[in-house]
Structure 1
Amino acid sequence: MLALGLWGLDRGTMWRDEGATFQVARRSVPQIIRLLGRVDAVHGLYYLLMHPVLAVRPDEVTLRLPSVLGAAATAALVGALGSRLARPRVGLWAGLLYAGTPFVSHYAQEGRSYALVAAGAALATWLLVRAVEQGSVRGWVAYGAVLAVTSLLHEFAVLLVAAHGVTLLWSRVRWPVWRGWGCAVAAAGVVLAPLVVLSRGQSEQVSWLRRPGAAEAEALVRAFAGPGRPVLAVTLLLAAVAVPAPLPRRGPLGLSAVALPLVVVGPVLLFAVSQRQPLFLDRYLLFCVAGLPLLVAAGAERLLGWLPWRRTVVVAGVLAIGAAFAVQLPGQRSERLPSGRGDQPALVAAQVGRLARPGDAVLFLPHYERRVALFYPHDFRGLRDLTLAASPAASGTLYGRDTGTGELLSRLGRLTPGDRLWVVWDTTTVGGRWFRAQRADFAKWRALNGRCREEASVFVPGGAVSRYRCGQGTVTSPPPPSPR
């Protein structure tokens, strides 16, 4: 997993969410805390953890390296769970299967919290198994602490509690186990409660999500089990074998009793809740993936375990996993291309750096496109931001506070025919219904086109840079192009 994570780690551009991590984590701790009171509280602990990391070296490789290490740790923990609950070769197969999943590789190379959340969930599951086996107070304290930290990294990890509860019900554990588990969960809940209250007040950040249906459910299955039909079919078949014919228990908890709730309960609960309050997104459920390779490895063990040639069986399993990886290799390669995440703000910034000169003015549409300048400030050095009223750090916001339309008109009016204005705009939103509903940004666009004339544009994936000439009197410009 570590080798896969390091393969092509520097894609040459950050995408939108990674850039948020990059620019927020580089603020001072008081500035980060101020921001969290307004937005992104759900990522607060992650930003604080990334603050010292990016202080060492602020670049894209350093930004993604903690996720690579988190994914590698998760693969190791999946292997450890398989070995503890079944036998070493089951653990080997499960760990390799997890590492080779394209969905896992995607978030192993992204500067966000999801790979670390998956590592925390796998560790909490391993600690649950150990605590049930040993029944010590220290074991439950460790479990509760890891559960709390994991949920603070992303509060949807609390769905892990439901999965573990189903595991204990399935295994018919005794009262002392329930008592220890309940105390650990209650303590984690107390720690998590302030974040839940704070994040509920910031729910507009996920207002863009829609109620999931069959298409979203199928996409999640393919993400977990493999996008290609052959791999998907074999994966689901082996998992189906493991459920009705579980491997013999090696302790109080069986492998199927741990793995099946882990992969099923969280997605089902989030899907059901999202029918009323849409919150369903595949990356929020990355921590559930670990249950599937455990089931697949258990199914393979059930089918092949009767064979007498143990080493041959182990090698055959590894070769089969290698074949599955080879089938999905094109998808793995595409993940490592600069276009693997859609938008490429580095290309937009590079165009500004190539075309603009010190003293030119710049304007961002919508306002969040200022992110390009925040991610790659060297390309915007010497340019005047026409709409910035307060910087992101000073205003406690992600992208800064803009001036009103009246002030923008005044600033545009002070531009002379010799001044150049560069407009950095998002081609996926400008011109669409959503953009027209954003009153401040739409008013900004109207003010721009009432005072200035577009002369040329350069388009790159997800964005564009347009040169405007102002100070020539009122002009009428056509409406912005439809989103590409």
Structure 2
Amino acid sequence: MSSLCKDRPPVARTCTRTRAEVASALLPVPVHVLVSVLAPVLVMLALGLWGLDRGGMWRDEAVTFEVAHRSVPQIWRLLHGVDAVHGLYYLVMRTVLSGWAAFARPDEVVLRLPSVLGAAATAGLVAALGVRLCRPRVGLWAGLLYAVTPMAGHYAQEGRSYALVSAGVAGSTLLLVRAVRGGGWWPYGAVAGVTCVLHEFAVLALLAHACALALARVRGRVWRAWGCAVGGVAVVLLPVVVVSQGQAAQVAWLAVPDLGAAGRLLEGFAGAPGLLLVPCLVLAGVGVRRGPRGELSLGGVALPLVAVPPVVLLAVSQVRPLYDERYVLYALAGMPLLVASGADRVAGVMGRLRAGGHFAPARTPLLGVLAIALVLASRLPVLQADRSADRRPDNLAAVSRVAGRETRPGDPLLFLPAFGRRAALTYPDDFRRTRDVALSVPAPVDGSLYGREVGADELRRRLGRLDRLWVVAQTYALRPGWSSRSPVERLKRAVLDEEFVPRAEFVQKGSTVRLYVRRP
């Protein structure tokens, strides 16, 4: 063999080296690594775009849509009173909708596209973490598992910030790995800072990163560099925290979470309810492996990411309720990494046991992909059902269609409670011929979400002159015994009960459109 190498012409060796160098310059990332990262992106993108137009927005999306159509000064004024935690997201969405308006009228599909792209980016970043911390097939499996998880698909189709926050946390986690291995720290701090401003509860991911560094037993210089980066994040985030603390009443509807909430979150992360949860947890447990001192391992990064933010928020919420699964969606990224790592470990053991048989290690990635395809097939009914507007708490488009079909020009209209006005703010064309009898100052001018209404005395005078009145109400507000802290809302209900009788009713999910006429 050595004589053959000596007889080979020097030119041939030079040409061979030149081709390799050219190939490396054109494609610096190996093909199998590129496929491992891009395949989950494409799968998540396809699942996110599937059924993106549900035929209507629900209330949280409606707020995004309405606020994103305001001017920057109007948004800035709004944030001083409510929704400071979503301020950056509203500005991003205003840019998106304004840019789209140059080509066509923005609709709910455009509203959800950033979330689809955020979810696709998260799937790719999860895959990149698996490649960086373990091997390409682990990255491929982890990214695909993330893409086919119903919880990820659900929020990929929400016109809210949570999918983008997930992408930011996954990106900052990948940059943390890069920084510990000798890269710069400022990209980590910058991405983490933007992500925390996008939603302040993403700061819990920094606690997960601290736990990952502690498990890796990194040296003091790494802790100092990480501390400086986190200090920069704190400086940027502090004004948002101060303002949002004064708006704590916005989350007063949250209840103290119980063990059932924790169980549902765990099932959502695993994407496997009931008995199917057990194999996922077993694989995740097998995937927890500790790396050498000073090195971040896959288990050491993924386990704190999936566990620390939910556990901390659930614990805090026992004293002050702040927990909702949306706020820790980004922690989902850790679960597929653990499951894929466990599957890789099991595949390695099987390969060694069958070393003398017909087992082909090269086929292992394809077998894993086939298994994930079967998982996707089993989840398709869940994913398909989630693409219906009925899977959301309400459908403002359905309410608006009733108003546009049934009302006549000049008909007086009353919203009960006032935040029911979001249907008119989101779909104004269906309400153009009606007259809002309670509105005093429109929402964009008032710097509020739903506008300012007249006082109780003035509203009573206005209602006293009417013989016919349309009411768009939350269904619970029409039930016997309902009351409100607001004197205006109590007056609305009292006048309807005492002076009017219902003539026609149209019930949609969570909302009721009812025609009242004055009592004889």
TM-score by length of 2: 0.87
Q: Does 1:407 align with 2:450?
A: no
Distance 1:39 1:51 in 2: 17
Distance 1:85 1:44 in 2: 34
Q: 2:221 is matched with which residue?
A: 176
1:337-376 to 2 correspondences below 5 Å: 337-376=388-427
Q: 1:481 is matched with which residue?
A: none
Tell me, yes or no, if the aligned pair for 1:247 and 1:298 is still in contact at 8 Å: no
Q: Does 1:449 align with 2:497?
A: yes
Q: 2:338 is matched with which residue?
A: 295
Q: Does 1:30 align with 2:73?
A: yes
Describe the superposition over 1:455-475 as per-residue Cα deviations: whole angstroms up to 9, x where unpaired: 1111111111111123x56xx
Q: 1:141 is matched with which residue?
A: 186
Pairwise CA distance, 1:430? 3.6
What is the SS of the residue equivalent to 1:204?
helix
Distance 2:361 2:439 in 1: 67
Pairwise CA distance, 1:404? 1.4
Q: Does 1:325 align with 2:368?
A: no
What is the SS of the residue equivalent to 2:106?
coil
Tell me, yes or no, if the aligned pair for 1:86 and 1:250 is still in contact at 8 Å: no
Distance 2:476 2:499 in 1: 24
Which of 44, 51, 67 pairs up with 2:115?
Answer: 67
Describe the superposition over 1:332-391 as per-residue Cα deviations: whole angstroms up to 9, x where unpaired: 011101111121111111011010011111101111100111111110012100100111
Tell me, yes or no, if the aligned pair for 2:456 and 2:487 is still in contact at 8 Å: no
What is the SS of the residue equivalent to 2:185?
helix
Q: Does 1:117 align with 2:170?
A: no
One-letter identity of the residue aligned with 1:212: P
1:311-322 to 2 correspondences below 5 Å: 311-322=362-373
1:13-412 to 2 correspondences below 5 Å: 13-55=56-98, 56=100, 57-134=105-182, 136=183, 139-243=184-288, 246=289, 252-306=295-349, 307=351, 309-412=360-463
Tell me, yes or no, if the aligned pair for 2:217 and 2:294 is still in contact at 8 Å: no
Which of 458, 473, 479 pairs up with 1:425?
Answer: 473
Distance 1:278 1:294 in 2: 30
One-letter identity of the residue aligned with 1:180: A
Tell me, yes or no, if the aligned pair for 2:48 and 2:116 is still in contact at 8 Å: yes
Describe the superposition over 1:384-404 as per-residue Cα deviations: whole angstroms up to 9, x where unpaired: 001001111111111111111
Distance 2:257 2:107 in 1: 36
Tell me, yes or no, if the aligned pair for 1:43 and 1:153 is still in contact at 8 Å: yes
What is the SS of the residue equivalent to 2:181?
helix
- Aligned residue-pair number: 464
Taking only the aligned residue pairs, the percentage that are identical comes to 55
Tell me, yes or no, if the aligned pair for 1:249 and 1:255 is still in contact at 8 Å: no
Q: 2:37 is matched with which residue?
A: none
Do the aligned partners of residues 218 and 76 (structure 1) sit closer, same or farther apart at CA in structure 2, a change above 3 Å counting? same
Q: Does 1:11 align with 2:54?
A: yes
Distance 2:297 2:262 in 1: 27
Q: 2:31 is matched with which residue?
A: none
One-letter identity of the residue aligned with 1:402: E
What is the SS of the residue equivalent to 1:8?
coil
Do the aligned partners of residues 251 and 332 (structure 1) sit closer, same or farther apart at CA in structure 2, a change above 3 Å counting? farther
Pairwise CA distance, 1:309? 1.9
Pairwise CA distance, 1:429? 4.2
Pairwise CA distance, 1:77? 0.2
Tell me, yes or no, if the aligned pair for 1:76 and 1:95 is still in contact at 8 Å: yes
What is the SS of the residue equivalent to 1:455?
strand
One-letter identity of the residue aligned with 1:405: A
Do the aligned partners of residues 132 and 432 (structure 1) sit closer, same or farther apart at CA in structure 2, a change above 3 Å counting? farther
Distance 1:391 1:159 in 2: 37
Moved over 4 A (4+): 247-251
Tell me, yes or no, if the aligned pair for 2:56 and 2:397 is still in contact at 8 Å: yes
Tell me, yes or no, if the aligned pair for 1:362 and 1:385 is still in contact at 8 Å: yes
Pairwise CA distance, 1:277? 0.6
Distance 2:323 2:481 in 1: 23
What is the SS of the residue equivalent to 2:394?
coil
Q: 2:7 is matched with which residue?
A: none
Pairwise CA distance, 1:82? 0.1
Q: 1:477 is matched with which residue?
A: none
For the aligned residues, what is the CA RMSD? 1.6
Describe the superposition over 1:182-233 as per-residue Cα deviations: whole angstroms up to 9, x where unpaired: 0000000000000000000000001111111111111111111124335422
What is the SS of the residue equivalent to 2:70?
coil
Tell me, yes or no, if the aligned pair for 2:216 and 2:293 is still in contact at 8 Å: no
Tell me, yes or no, if the aligned pair for 1:231 and 1:324 is still in contact at 8 Å: no
Describe the superposition over 1:71-109 as per-residue Cα deviations: whole angstroms up to 9, x where unpaired: 000000000000010000000000000001100101000
Pairwise CA distance, 1:250? 12
Distance 1:84 1:320 in 2: 23
Distance 1:120 1:66 in 2: 13
Tell me, yes or no, if the aligned pair for 2:66 and 2:425 is still in contact at 8 Å: yes
Distance 1:430 1:161 in 2: 45
Describe the superposition over 1:416-438 as per-residue Cα deviations: whole angstroms up to 9, x where unpaired: x4xx3210111144426664444
Distance 2:499 2:476 in 1: 24
Structure 2 alignment gaps of length 5 or more: 1-43, 352-358
One-letter identity of the residue aligned with 1:12: G
Tell me, yes or no, if the aligned pair for 1:54 and 1:62 is still in contact at 8 Å: yes
Do the aligned partners of residues 172 and 247 (structure 1) sit closer, same or farther apart at CA in structure 2, a change above 3 Å counting? closer
Distance 1:160 1:181 in 2: 13
Q: 2:14 is matched with which residue?
A: none
One-letter identity of the residue aligned with 1:131: A
Distance 1:260 1:413 in 2: 63
Structure 1 alignment gaps of length 5 or more: 474-484
What is the SS of the residue equivalent to 1:262?
helix
The 10-residue stretch of structure 1 (455-464 or 220-229) with the greater mean CA deviation from structure 2: 220-229
Do the aligned partners of residues 98 and 339 (structure 1) sit closer, same or farther apart at CA in structure 2, a change above 3 Å counting? same
Which structure would you say has the larger Rg? 2
One-letter identity of the residue aligned with 2:56: T
Pairwise CA distance, 1:251? 8.1
The 10-residue stretch of structure 1 (303-312 or 8-17) with the greater mean CA deviation from structure 2: 303-312
